[in-house]
Structure 1
């Protein structure tokens, strides 16, 4: 076992131990676990209750209307006798009472004669000689087939002594008495009525701890006797066999019934009632029976139960399918279960099946979890859950067998959570170890990536098309000198500068590669794929320009308030798109996730040219092609930067789609295109004319530096023209 646990690892060993512990818990079956199981069975019955096509048991209801018409309960026994006689005449197969006649009728003539004043002795004796109401009711019982109800009590003793008539009970197999629920006493009917009745049966219904009636004992023990329930006694009363059979084995009671109507029970002789919803069709009013308003076919050959639905008589029960039903209806539904053969049961082997399912599901998760990813493990969990629930539902609906799927499901879930928790702890421990081992040698960002994916701890990278950005503050040396006596102020300024630039980059899905003093290098489309990398880089550049403008406005206000000189921050931003190598670059001891390639170097050169053309944002032709429409961009020149042999068309970006669609920008762009065409075609006069047309927008787009630059070049070329085969490329001598 120790070797097995070592091979499993700590997490899986704990999960395996938990599965065994949960199996032991199921064997002990504490109250909360049993309640969860019973609630599951409630759900089954509520989702698909029994459908009663016919009602072989009819309830004569001492309802509110009957009480209003005939008086409050208890009624005179003569009235009850009349009710029994009428039901007998209507052809009732048997009549069962869900009421107990525990005392003599106080309305009998002999009981009330002493309350009458002025009667002579002879009249009193004649009245006393009349039959009592109880005797009249007893005679009605003898003329019919009546089963009287009795109730178990927890107090010692019995109200009426031992039974005068004990029905025959046959036991098959083991002695069932040790398993039957035992009560210390009985609440009985008066002997006169019990002797006249065909049989007696127990009315006792035991709701579970939550107050819901699910199981009803078909037989129980009291005063050393085995006593049948009311429903069982009624079935025996109409059965030719006339004998109750209790089948048991060493594990407990298996079934109780009569001959062909054996009903499966739990080990204590209780039947799981297969409930139908409350149905008014089961009920007839006692008032209507006494009035002769009930047709014979409603009663003929039916098992008749006399009980009450009146709220004031406090005989209401909660079932899995109804919040409140008359208690007598529970007995009626047991009779329907028996006569229709519609049973549900929780067999002895159910616990073994649930344990096997729980262990199988738990072991499947324990053994397969390391080989499955999170998604497949979730699929496995869903498969286990649906299989367990589906199997339980099948056995309930097709076989009438109750199996609890919540226990194996909860067991598997607990095992899964233990695995998740221990894996999390192990991962956190491994991350801490990696940080401790490599934190002194690797860059922090690479350490974090190594924590997430140690397989990336190799040199090299992959080729990918990306967009790059360099930004730099112009004239930063002069600004730095103004802080030569305030180093902390310079640090604060750097933070105020780099923070908004970084936020602009990150907000557009960019990755900040590094800070180089006042310069920032960033790239797009790595490590995460970004199909819109060129557009996002251009949007980030525009956002950076706006954020710097906002920062300058705040700094100007601060400078005026402090009486200090205000030196605005001006940045140049170069953007370019191309193929490069991206990955971990460096030495075997220290490396960073970065980019290398000619396109990266060109980006740096483009950024350096922003100051030479007097623009804030300059982009290469590849970027503008990849970015597509939606930007206010002007072609600036065809330049050959230092260190490059191939010329590059460069553009200045002034804004987004709203500016690009404006009349002013479209006019400017047309004149600028004409100017460049004339310039490259050496049509100097026409070029100057177009340049003059562009000056109408000089202030709006801050073009003075750029237009003056081209005016100076044109004047120089007019004095000293380039060769006839000149291609219009400008050779940039400065970086």
Structure 2
């Protein structure tokens, strides 16, 4: 049986390990390694999208036929009427209309088309009007904003390495009251309460300044694949009635730029991707319940602290003499648990900090017990 000294060493190592674990999690030192592990999972965890989401792309073909972008808003009005006639389920336009057109008649036409459809969601975002000035919400111009079915924020959740792994389902100035564009679209068909939303919640969401852009309900994405995975139809083809209605009926339609030089190009774990296809991934994952919720600090810490006990309880017990093998088994179990939670429960537990502490505990155990001779009764 292990000696009293050995049990004392176990207890000391566990407490030291817990302290080190807190430091690693709070400091974020292991975040790059955890992100790399998540990215590796993402590349081998793809899925085939349903045909419920269709992108109507402002592509090179459309630019050649319609002309240089931005187009008169009367063109968008024609497209919206065409989509409504084809029986789409809802229309999300990843196109800003926050400033008036040179021709007020263009704004009136698109507002009228949006009102006739009753299924159009337009974007809202935060911007500083003056350099270094306070943020303001950029809404569609008044006449258009009054015609939409809903507004949705298009905030992009970039990590420190500029990669986009997730999304905020709620965001807003002062408090996160705007749903994301994808969530606003889904809410056209059925009500989704705040309590039912997946994601990591901000416990301080009600204590913010009214001048700060607040985010909540952070989720990680399971991307369907690289750019081009979702079905695309050329804006010009839809506008000019060259697309069968059967390809649009009862679909969610997202309208946005895919042509080079237009719109945002986001770096995902897989490949660069147009912003409109990023929105398609959020929409598809939200509708099918495939969004990943990261564990908060307390749950991440509690799970890791529990996993630290396994090797400490087993080191030095009779019949377990190959401690190196036990170390690798313990670290493998941590990694496997992380993957099982991710793929089985859509929960993300970053494992690297726990694995590093287990390795540090093993090294300390070997150092403290190397020259310790067994005590005989």
Instruction: Give 1:140 deviation, angstroms.
Output: 0.8
Q: Do the aligned partners of residues 414 and 61 (structure 1) sit closer, same or farther apart at CA in structure 2, a change above 3 Å counting?
A: same
Q: Do the aligned partners of residues 13 and 341 (structure 1) sit closer, same or farther apart at CA in structure 2, a change above 3 Å counting?
A: closer
Q: Identify which of 221, 224, 240 aligns with 1:273.
A: 221
Q: Do the aligned partners of residues 407 and 233 (structure 1) sit closer, same or farther apart at CA in structure 2, a change above 3 Å counting?
A: same
Instruction: Give 1:23 deviation, angstroms.
Output: 2.9
Q: Do the aligned partners of residues 299 and 103 (structure 1) sit closer, same or farther apart at CA in structure 2, a change above 3 Å counting?
A: same
Match in the other structure for 2:34: 37
Map residues 437-456 of structure 1 onto 2, 5 A cutoff: none
Q: Identify which of 177, 185, 193 aligns with 2:144.
A: 193
Instruction: Give 1:338 deviation, angstroms.
Output: 2.3
- RMSD value, Cα: 3.1
Which whole-Å deviations, capped at 9, do the CAs of 1:294-326 have from their partners, x for residues lacking one?
Answer: 111211111111111122024111222x22011
Match in the other structure for 1:218: 169
- Whether the aligned pair in 2 keeps the contact of 1:358 and 1:409 (CA below 8 Å) is no
Map residues 133-282 of structure 1 onto 2, 5 A cutoff: 133-144=106-117, 145-153=119-127, 184-222=135-173, 226-239=177-190, 241=191, 244-247=192-195, 255-256=196-197, 263-267=198-202, 268-278=216-226, 279-282=228-231
Secondary structure at the counterpart of residue 412 of structure 1: helix
Which whole-Å deviations, capped at 9, do the CAs of 1:472-506 have from their partners, x for residues lacking one?
Answer: xxxxxxxxxxxxxxxxxxxxxxxxxxxxxxxxxxx
Secondary structure at the counterpart of residue 193 of structure 2: strand
Match in the other structure for 2:206: none
Which whole-Å deviations, capped at 9, do the CAs of 1:264-306 have from their partners, x for residues lacking one?
Answer: 4444311222211034442111111112121112111111111
- In structure 2, the gaps of 5 or more residues are 203-215
Map residues 407-486 of structure 1 onto 2, 5 A cutoff: 407-421=353-367
Instruction: Give 1:234 deviation, angstroms.
Output: 0.8
Match in the other structure for 1:380: 326
The size of the alignment, in residue pairs, is 355
Match in the other structure for 1:7: 5
Q: Do the aligned partners of residues 382 and 31 (structure 1) sit closer, same or farther apart at CA in structure 2, a change above 3 Å counting?
A: closer
Instruction: Give 1:11 deviation, angstroms.
Output: 7.4
- TM-score when scaled to structure 2? 0.83
Higher relative contact order (Cα pairs below 8 Å, separated by 6+ residues): 2
- TM-score when scaled to structure 1? 0.45
Secondary structure at the counterpart of residue 69 of structure 1: helix
Q: Do the aligned partners of residues 315 and 276 (structure 1) sit closer, same or farther apart at CA in structure 2, a change above 3 Å counting?
A: same
Q: Do the aligned partners of residues 369 and 319 (structure 1) sit closer, same or farther apart at CA in structure 2, a change above 3 Å counting?
A: farther
The structure with the larger Rg is 1
Matched, 1:330 2:281: no
Which whole-Å deviations, capped at 9, do the CAs of 1:344-365 have from their partners, x for residues lacking one?
Answer: 2224464144323442145236
Map residues 271-670 of structure 1 onto 2, 5 A cutoff: 271-278=219-226, 279-320=228-269, 322-348=270-296, 350-364=299-313, 367-368=315-316, 372-373=320-321, 376-421=322-367
Question: 2:305 and 2:4 mapped to 1: Cα distance?
Answer: 24
Secondary structure at the counterpart of residue 29 of structure 1: helix
Question: 2:232 and 2:303 mapped to 1: Cα distance?
Answer: 40
Question: 2:139 and 2:251 mapped to 1: Cα distance?
Answer: 25
Q: Do the aligned partners of residues 11 and 190 (structure 1) sit closer, same or farther apart at CA in structure 2, a change above 3 Å counting?
A: same
Question: 1:275 and 1:363 mapped to 2: Cα distance?
Answer: 38
- Whether the aligned pair in 1 keeps the contact of 2:307 and 2:334 (CA below 8 Å) is no
Match in the other structure for 2:213: none
Q: Do the aligned partners of residues 232 and 25 (structure 1) sit closer, same or farther apart at CA in structure 2, a change above 3 Å counting?
A: same
Question: 1:225 and 1:25 mapped to 2: Cα distance?
Answer: 30
Which whole-Å deviations, capped at 9, do the CAs of 1:566-606 have from their partners, x for residues lacking one?
Answer: xxxxxxxxxxxxxxxxxxxxxxxxxxxxxxxxxxxxxxxxx
